[in-house]
A and B are shown apart, each in its own frame.
Chain A
């Protein structure tokens, strides 16, 4: 009971629900960078929205199926091929031993999720199974997958003959241009309203060293020199910090739990899954909203998704 990795690509990790309630111990959230694409993939194979799946980054990846099971692929991959033959995303697919599953590179967007009906074998730590690379814990030996790894499956519950396709209206569009809504951070309000105006006026380009921890945003430097370092304080995925360079830094799912740079803005929860699709060179436009409106947007989004996915949660 397993799946074999023939080509792991740039960074393929096992990711699902984030770790929760351990940030005071310095333990980041980790988990799927794009919670929505993960949920859509898992639903197609009959799994709960945050079940552990393969998160594939930028480049292509190839797997060999050694067990009959159902699979679904959702994300930014240009194509999916089974035994060389094109296979659409957003659909339940039955695969059999010997099948070769080729997930193409991302042309726009950054991450693709491969969900399997069989449960991936991973140790539960701190209430989760996701991979946290920095501390080498969770997932598959705490690391990104390598060529020739064999990922064991526990069992396959898919007795039911699931055959689903995501409704077209719910399929995310993966693009080079992103709009992320933000609310002002603790150091982004009051006397620095001017700063927020500049921040939401100019668009930014994601820097070359983007990772699951975060990414530098290249653009006109913002209020350089007006801030100095401050006593370390809590940060979260989606927090935008402003280092002295004036280049904003957007935190990702593996972001550390505290930081010493001013927190100028926070990407709203409804939009945070989009951070997982940002890649070096992506354009980002920030739009300011209020916390009250952010909550409405989040609830509306979940309500829309619940017609298909049932009760889910984004992070």
Chain B
């Protein structure tokens, strides 16, 4: 861990730990998961929370355990996680905001898919809904904001972009991210032992597929 001690705040039966960067969050997540004792371990963008059973641990003991386990946190090597390839169709009604986003970036519409697939991405965290992934690219990006009017329905698999972040919707839902494509992959399958396709810290690469490939992609029973 970096020398500056993380800020710990106890809120009843959970503890919020503010950390300096993404690597520290991933390292803390791995350390908490390895040590055990927590009912939930939830990474945020620059923080992580652990929940405990107040019948088993007092808040003070839980805070002590947190500090102790954080000491053993060592940075997770991004190279050690497998690269996940996400096929995306960047065409037509699957990419309703692509033209507007390409214009913001200052590239031709046809060049957008190459721009997006060439950017390295890392899963920052899951949240919002089961399996919904927030991805972050280290490469700079022009400011792309939320839609002024959120859509009532964004289809599962839709890929959104806001600034350096991309996201993948795991279920049909309302949403405000500009949508630049859609993957046929199932992001969350509760019947699986590992229900989420992605997890925090994973490296992701987008890969262009045609509309025909998208339509013919074998679907498992989504929802």
Residues of A within 8 A of B (CB): 20-28, 125-126, 132, 134-138, 142, 183-186, 189, 231-234, 236, 238-239, 256-258, 263, 265-269, 291-292, 294-295, 298-299, 302, 313
Contact = CB atoms under 8 A, between A and B. Distances in A.
B174 to A, nearest CB: 11
Contact of B12 (A23, A137, A268): A268
Contacts of B170: 26, 135
Contact of B188 (A20, A21, A135, A267): A135
Interface of B: 9-14, 16, 18, 29, 39-49, 51, 53-55, 58-60, 125-132, 134, 170-171, 173, 188, 190-191, 195-196, 199-200, 223
Given A125-B190, A258-B44, A234 B14 contact: yes
B171 A135 contact: yes
Contact of B45 (A20, A232, A291): A232
A140 to B, nearest CB: 15
A257 B43 CA distance: 10
A134 B173 contact: yes
9 contacts: A126-B190, A135-B190, A186-B18, A234-B42, A258-B42, A263-B16, A269-B12, A294-B59, A295-B12
A135 B130 contact: yes
Contacts of B49: 233-234, 236
Nearest to B129: A26
A26 B51 contact: no
Given A25-B195, A26-B126, A26-B129, A137 B11 contact: no
A234 B44 contact: yes
Given A26-B196, A186-B9, A299-B54, A232 B125 contact: yes
A102 B129 CA distance: 35
Contact of B42 (A23, A266, A269): A23
B41 A24 contact: yes
Contact of B131 (A26, A266, A291): A26
A258 B130 contact: no
Contacts of A185: 9, 11, 16
Contacts of A135: 129-130, 170-171, 188, 190, 223
A256 B44 contact: no
B126 A25 contact: yes
A33 to B, nearest CB: 18
A292 B10 CA distance: 10
A20 B39 contact: yes
